[in-house]
Structure 1
Amino acid sequence: MLFLRSTVEHTDEQLFKIKQLRQLVEKSDELQVGTDDIFLTKFLYYTNWDTFKAYQAIHAYYDFKLRHPTWVAQHPVQYYAKIFFATQCRFVMPHTDKNGRVLVIFKTVDAFQEFPDYLQHLVEMDDLIFESMLMLPRVQRNGITVICDLQGTTRNFLRQFSPMFMKIVNEKNTVLPFSQRIVHIIQRGFLMHVTSSLFLPFMNKDFKDRIFTHDGRHLNKLREMVGVECLPAEYGGPATNVLDTNLIFNHLSQSADYLEQLQQYKKR
C-alpha cells in the first residue's frame, strides 16, 4: 500500500545510529523536538545514515523555522480542508513512479479572489504534504517525485514571486530532509516561461540539477522519466488515473495528530 507505515526492520548498525542520534537530540539545550524513530530516521536517510550530519540537519531545519515561522504549517489539517477541495491543486498518485518514489502533483490554480491569503495557504499546505510524505518509510528511503504543473499560472501569481520570496523557497528546499527529490516542471506559453525564469536562478546547483522542464504540449520525456503507469490520465497515463483530492487529504487526516505535534517542535 502506498501509505503503509508498518514497523520497519532496521539493521543493527542502523538501530545503533538511531539510538546515537536520539541521545544527541535529548542532550541538546536548544532543540525542543521529538525523538521517535520516524522523526529521527528521516534525517538519517537524508544524510546517508551519518549521525552527526543528521544532527546538524535537524538544527538546520529548525534554524529555518526559527527565522521563518510562517513558512511551516501553523494549523490543524482540517483548517485547510476548504481550500484543498475548492482549488483542486494538490494531489498524490496511488502508485509510485518507476523508481519507487511517491509521485506528488502541484498545479497552479488562481484562487486569490476567493482566498486573499492564498499564497500563504499554499506555503502551509505544501509543508503539511511534505511532512506527511516524510513519515512514510518508502519516501525516507527513495525520496519523492514532484510534478509542478505551471500551466495555470496567471499574472496574480507572478506578482507574488519577489526575489525575497524565491530566496526563502530556495532556503527551505535546502533543509527539507528528502533523501532525493526530483522535480518536473510543466509549462506552456509566455507566462509559464517567465515563471520558471524567475524560479530557477534562486535554486542552488544541487537542487537545480534535479529539476526538469517540459513543454505542456510534448510530454514524452516526462513519461519516459517518471513512467506512464503512475501518471495522471491527462499527462498520458492510464484512463483510470484520475486526480483525486480525497487521496491526499485522507492521508493528511489520518496523520493529523502527528502533523499537529510536529508544528510544536522548535529551536530556542
Structure 2
Amino acid sequence: MTEIERGILYLVATPIGNLADFSFRAVEILKRVDLIACEDTRHSRLLLDHYGIDRPLVAFHEHNEETATPQLLERLRQGQAVALIADAGTPLVNDPGFPLVRSARAAGIRVTPIPGPCALIAALSASGLPTHRFAFEGFPPRRSAARRARFEALRDEPRTLIFYEASHRIMDTLQDLAAIFPPERPIVIARELTKRFETITASTVGEAGALLERQPEQRRGEFVLVLGGAPEASPGDGLCPDQERVLRLLLEECSLRTAVALTARITGVSREAAYRTALRWCGQGGAG
C-alpha cells in the first residue's frame, strides 16, 4: 500500500489514451489524497470511476486557475494532501498548473511529481529523430501569419522540435511548415498515441501535407509533430558539407545575395553563416 504525506501537492500523470497506462502508484496516491484538482470533473470522473477512486473533485483549468490557486494553497496549509491531474498526460505540460506549483513552492509547500504518460515524450521516443536535445513548443499559434512567424524564428534551431496540434488545424499547420522549413527536413506525425488507431508516420516537410491529403483518415485525432532540427554547423566555417555544396552551386549561377538566401531556404542554414562563408570564399579567389 502506498503511503502519502499530508500537506503535499502531488502532480499525478494520467493516461493519454490507453487506460492501462495508469501507474499503480498514481492510482494509490489518488485514492488517499483529500482532494483532486482536475481540468474537467466530468472527464476525470470517468477515469477515476474505472479505477475505483472516490475522492472529492474540484475544477482547476485555464479560466479559473488564478482564483482557484489561493483556495488550494489554503487547503495545503491546513495539512490536506492535494493532487493535481490534467485531462490526459503529465500536469503542467501544456496544461494548467504553473501558478499553483510556483505559489506552493514559494510558500514552502512540498511539491511531488508522480510521473507517467506524456505525449511529447512518447512521440519523441518513437520518432527515430535525435533525442539528446529537443525543444517542446506546445500548440503553434492559431492564425497562419502568427504561426509562420513562430516557425520562421525556429527555422535555424538545431534541436529536434515538438509541437502539439488539433485535427481541424493539422493541414494548415503542415502547409505553413512547408512554407518556412526546407522541404527535405524530416518530420514524424504521431497520431492518437496509445489509442486504438495510433499511427506514427515518418515523412518530410515537403511531402507531409500531400501524404495526409491522400489519407483522410489520418487527419483525425490528436497530433504530435516531431520535426528534425537544422543541420549542425561545422566548426570550420559554419556550414556542413551538404550546405557548402548547395552554396557553391548557387554562387555559380546567382548573385551572392540570391545564392545566400536560397541556400538558407533550401538547407536550413542561417543566412549569416552562409553569407560569411561566401565572403570568405570570394576573398580566397572565388567559390570554386
Give the structure with higher Rg (CA).
Answer: 2
Report which of the two has the higher share of strand.
2
- Normalised by the length of structure 2, the TM-score is 0.20
Report which of the two has the higher share of helix.
1
* Larger RCO: 1 or 2 (CA < 8 Å, sep 6+): 1
